[in-house]
Amino acid sequence: MQRVIEFVLGLTFGLGLLISGMTDPGKVQGFLDLAGAWDPSLAFVMGGGVMVGLVGFGLAKKKTISFSGAPFHWPEMTPIDRPLVLGSLMFGMGWGLAGFCPGPALVAMASGNDKALVFVLAMLVGMALFDRFKKRDN
């Protein structure tokens, strides 16, 4: 049952990304182009997501288990450190340059977008490099 719930939620998220146009890198780049032809539609999508998240997290904070019966594991606060800041900067630069972030890139790739395929492959290489260097540091 857990996998069915995960599938339905993932499918709903992916369809939402498609319907809202967030799989189009031009939408993201239009949102980031403050000095040119600014497209505010991404702000509305993000605002809607924040509102849904606030309600969802508000309800979840009052529970100890999820609807599927799995226990909640809330993250503990960690300080803002150099790796977090550098990773955030890298993510933001990649998002702005490519117009994709991981979720929309996967949906766009599944719908046949060649640029998204290149992005996802580069993302996988970056994740593998991170794992390799992280293991070397430990």
Higher pLDDT, 51 or 136: 51
pLDDT of residue 2: 79
Angle separating helix axes 2-20 and 102-110, nearest 10 degrees: 90
Q: How many residues are given for the chain?
A: 138
pLDDT of residue 138: 60
pLDDT of residue 71: 87
Distance of CA 87 to CAs 31, 37, 79, 90, 137, Å?
21, 28, 14, 5, 17
H helix count then E strand count, the chain: 6, 0
pLDDT of residue 11: 92
Q: What's the average model confidence in pLDDT over 99-110?
A: 90
Q: Is the pLDDT score of 28 beyond 70?
A: yes
pLDDT of residue 137: 65
Q: What's the average model confidence in pLDDT over 48-67?
A: 89
